[in-house]
Amino acid sequence: MNIQVQCCGIVILLLIWYFSLRQRSLGLEAERLFLVTMGVTSFCVIMDITSIVAINCHELISAFLLALICKTYIVSLIWVGYFGLIYSSTDFIRTRAERKRQNRIYTIIVLTGTVLIYVLPIYYYLSGDIVYTYGPSCTTTYIFALLFVLVTLYKVGIRGKEMNPKRRRAIVIWMLIWIIAAVTQFLNANLLLVGFASVLGIVILFFELENPEANLDRETGAYNAHALGEYTKLLYEKRERFSAMLLALNDMAVMGNADSSIQQDMTLREIVRYVEKLKEVKIFKTLERELVFIVSDEQRLQEVFQDIKGHIEGIWEERRSDGQARVSPYYVLLPDSLLIGSVEELFLMLRHFRVGKAENPEENSILLDHRKIGHYKEREETEALIRRAIEEDRIEVFYQPIYSTKHGKFTSAEALVRIRDEKGEIVPPGRFIPVAEKNGLIARIGEIVFEKVCAFVRKHNLMEDYGMKYIEVNLSVRQCEDTRLAENYIKIMQKYHLDPSCINLEITESASIKTRKNLLENMQVLIDYGVKFSLDDFGNGESNLNYIVDMPVSIVKFDRDMSQAYFANQKAKFVMEASMHMIHEMQLEIVSEGVETKEQMEAISALGIDYIQGYYFSRPIPEAEFLEFIKKGNRDASAVPETAAEVQSLQQSPESIPR
């Protein structure tokens, strides 16, 4: 009976071999270890049959050869256990070094078992149909096999959460079958079940996990997203360079009634079928229905890109003329995988650039070179920095005093945001504001700054005790898009019982009509409440006079470039003078920003500008220092520093921000 069971095992294994090898392989670690385990199991079953035959024919062969055959069979059993254990740890052993270290211990154990089994004696029992082996050699086999089974179960128990749940389940079932088979065989030596139990293990693994079909996408025949993750993980682990291309079919407008996802899959299938004919390209489909092509190097990448692009253009040219479908492909090319540190980063980046605009719209593609990846990483780091700063309350507000030429003292200040990083160093807004504008975090920053300003004004009675008339607070264009902005800001002012006249919000020119509409609505609510507005950055190239006409602002701020150009260039001088007259005619006031020297200050004052802001008086400074500055600067009516020493003392600032 036993030989029949083992023969069944062989047939099952042959079938699994056939189905496994029929599909193309990706060479994944688990896939490779599964094939090795199946190889050892096949050898084990063959040796099982050979040993039964050998015992039956013991008169025909030498005792040494008989022992060798029987021992080789039981040795192969513990090797199945050994590979089963290694296979089961593929999910949670991530680094090659860790794998090597762990495998070394198991290898020592399996080699010790092998030597012991070969050295210790073995006995045979043969009576009619019943054949089995026993003795110290067999007991050693049980001990070592059980050891591997228990270690496997233990590992799966403690690291199960990190494992693929299917793999965890399959391995536990396999090990339990083995234990049942081993106990049954131990108690009933004539039932040779252990070898067959290994075959059952392979069957379970194959159907649960290692069926190569599991790595394929049914709709297109490409490898699926799971396979993409595993494959790229493997390449990164081995530090094997590769090049990749992501193809996204954006704005797929489908004609007819077909469901668009079905239509998309049909289109993708068509592309996959074409690319399958190209050499050395691995094709994957992502969960977002994009295709990712992986090739060995940049040269091949360019060839494949041109080829696919040409093909797609060709077929859509035909379709377009038929009026069937319109598709705009978008290609993201990564020439060198090692420009990126990990698989996680790779996918985040492909996703990020996939929605980005092509540099060249004709090309519809983007090549991720060193520079672009560097920018991307910097942006990611800055975003993380902003998020941490918000969470850990490291957003600070500095104040830059504004001098009133009419009153001859400081009557206002601009609140300017700063982030203090983990090391306590100040990060200037030039680094994080553009990032925050892009990802929308500016709304949160703006609100934090506004609340801090209100709290500061209230706490120190800036109006009554320091002679301040108002504080200027910057509003980003993104914030103005939010229809609840006015409501939120009013709530904050009410929370601190602030008179709205002590707030002046700085806005800049906004490009889109929609933003402008929302901005105007917000402005109206706030103006009705009593808040005033300034137009920031006038003269920096993007501003125009019409904007002043349209916007209900009270103050116009001349940009630093405009203030500086006044001294460098005769034409700019005329422009500034003419602008000033016009703005004054409109009954608006003017602040000149970026005034750095005494000469500039005097000339601009003489020109008739109402307020002056610049390094000449002070850089933006922290709260305590600002209070000190105002107290000292406004002590007498004429706060304008006269001597060089006075200028220097006012310009001293802890802020070491290179501009």
Task: Give the C-alpha separation, 149 to 197, whole Å.
Answer: 12
Q: What 3-state DSSP class applies to 407? A: coil
221 binds, among Mg ion, ligand C2E, none (CB under 5 to 8 A by kind): none
Q: Please, which residue, 141 or 564, has the CB nearer to Mg ion?
A: 564
Stretch of residues binding ligand C2E (CB under 6 A), selected from 321-329, 495-503, 565-573, 613-621: 613-621
**Interaction with ligand C2E in 523-542: which residues (CB under 6 A)?**
536-537
589 binds, among Mg ion, ligand C2E, none (CB under 5 to 8 A by kind): none
**Interaction with ligand C2E in 279-318: which residues (CB under 6 A)?**
none
# binding residues, ligand C2E (CB under 6 A): 25
Tokens of 155: 């590992």
Provide the pairing of β-strand 365-367 with 282-285.
unpaired
Instruction: Decide: 268 and 285 in contact? Cβ < 8 Å.
Output: yes
- Verify binding: residue 614, ligand C2E, rule CB under 6 A: yes
Q: What 3-state DSSP class applies to 616? A: coil
- Verify binding: residue 537, Mg ion, rule CB under 5 A: yes
CA-based max dimension of the chain: 123
Q: Which amino acid is at 96?
A: R
Between 495 and 514, how does the x/- string for binding to Mg ion read (CB under 5 A)?
-----------x--------
**Interaction with Mg ion in 457-486: which residues (CB under 5 A)?**
474
**Interaction with ligand C2E in 540-579: which residues (CB under 6 A)?**
560
Q: What 3-state DSSP class applies to 161? A: helix
- Verify binding: residue 605, ligand C2E, rule CB under 6 A: no
Provide the pairing of β-strand 282-285 with 426-427.
unpaired
Tokens of 205: 């693994």
Stretch of residues binding ligand C2E (CB under 6 A), selected from 31-39, 46-54, 306-314, 607-615: 607-615
579 binds, among Mg ion, ligand C2E, none (CB under 5 to 8 A by kind): none
**Rounded to the nearest whole angstrom, what is the least distance from the CB of residue 593 to Mg ion in the complex?**
5
Task: Give the C-alpha separation, 434 to 451, whole Å.
Answer: 21
416 binds, among Mg ion, ligand C2E, none (CB under 5 to 8 A by kind): ligand C2E
Task: Give the C-alpha separation, 38 to 204, whole Å.
Answer: 12
**Interaction with ligand C2E in 107-126: which residues (CB under 6 A)?**
none
| 593 CB neighbour count, 10 Å cutoff | 24
307 binds, among Mg ion, ligand C2E, none (CB under 5 to 8 A by kind): none
Between 221 and 260, how does the x/- string for binding to ligand C2E read (CB under 6 A)?
----------------------------------------
Instruction: Decide: 209 and 30 in contact? Cβ < 8 Å.
Output: yes
Q: Which amino acid is at 270?
A: E
- Verify binding: residue 474, ligand C2E, rule CB under 6 A: yes
Q: Please, which residue, 81 or 620, has the CB nearer to ligand C2E?
A: 620
Stretch of residues binding ligand C2E (CB under 6 A), selected from 201-209, 239-247, 303-311, 588-596: 588-596
Task: Give the C-alpha separation, 579 to 85, whole Å.
Answer: 80
Q: Please, which residue, 536 or 610, has the CB nearer to Mg ion?
A: 536
Q: Which amino acid is at 205?
A: L
Exposure on the CB side of residue 491, measured as CA atoms within 13 A:
6
Exposure on the CB side of residue 17, measured as CA atoms within 13 A:
15
Q: Please, which residue, 481 or 506, has the CB nearer to Mg ion?
A: 506
Burial string for 285-307 (b: 16+ CB within 10 Å, else e) reads bbeebbbbbbbeebebbbebbee
**Rounded to the nearest whole angstrom, what is the least distance from the CB of residue 504 to ligand C2E in the complex?**
12
- Verify binding: residue 401, ligand C2E, rule CB under 6 A: no
Stretch of residues binding ligand C2E (CB under 6 A), selected from 179-187, 366-374, 427-435, 524-532: 427-435
User: With helix as H, strand as E and coil as C, how does 104-150 read?
Assistant: HHHHHHHHHHHHHHHHCCCEEEEECCEEEEECHHHHHHHHHHHHHHH
Q: What 3-state DSSP class applies to 316? A: helix
Task: Give the C-alpha separation, 346 to 351, whole Å.
Answer: 9
Taking Cα atoms as reference points, which of 370, 456, 375 lies closest to residue 413?
456
Which of 210, 536, 610, 625 lies at the binding interface for Mg ion (CB under 5 A)?
Answer: 536
**Rounded to the nearest whole angstrom, what is the least distance from the CB of residue 474 to ligand C2E in the complex?**
4
Tokens 């228990």 found at:
150
Stretch of residues binding ligand C2E (CB under 6 A), selected from 35-43, 80-88, 92-100, 594-602: 594-602
Stretch of residues binding ligand C2E (CB under 6 A), selected from 83-91, 137-145, 377-385, 422-430: 422-430
237: phi > 0 → left, psi -120 to 50 → alpha, else beta; which?
alpha
| 283 CB neighbour count, 10 Å cutoff | 22
Q: Please, which residue, 283 or 413, has the CB nearer to ligand C2E?
A: 413
615 binds, among ligand C2E, Mg ion, none (CB under 5 to 8 A by kind): ligand C2E
- Verify binding: residue 615, ligand C2E, rule CB under 6 A: yes
**Rounded to the nearest whole angstrom, what is the least distance from the CB of residue 620 to ligand C2E in the complex?**
5
**Rounded to the nearest whole angstrom, what is the least distance from the CB of residue 519 to ligand C2E in the complex?**
13
Q: Please, which residue, 81 or 446, has the CB nearer to ligand C2E?
A: 446
**Rounded to the nearest whole angstrom, what is the least distance from the CB of residue 655 to ligand C2E in the complex?**
8
Provide the pairing of β-strand 409-420 with 470-474.
parallel
Stretch of residues binding ligand C2E (CB under 6 A), selected from 115-123, 135-143, 354-362, 587-595: 587-595
Q: Dump strand ranges (E) for 351-495.
A: 365-367, 395-404, 409-420, 426-427, 470-474
Length of the chain: 659
Instruction: Decide: 425 and 655 in contact? Cβ < 8 Å.
Output: no
**Interaction with ligand C2E in 441-470: which residues (CB under 6 A)?**
442, 446, 449
- Verify binding: residue 476, ligand C2E, rule CB under 6 A: yes
Which of 181, 248, 416, 639 lies at the binding interface for ligand C2E (CB under 6 A)?
Answer: 416
Exposure on the CB side of residue 93, measured as CA atoms within 13 A:
18
- Verify binding: residue 217, ligand C2E, rule CB under 6 A: no
Q: Residues interacting with Mg ion, by CB under 5 A?
A: 474, 506, 536-537, 593
Q: Residues interacting with ligand C2E, by CB under 6 A?
A: 400, 416-417, 428-430, 433, 442, 446, 449, 474, 476, 506, 536-537, 560, 593-596, 613-615, 620, 659
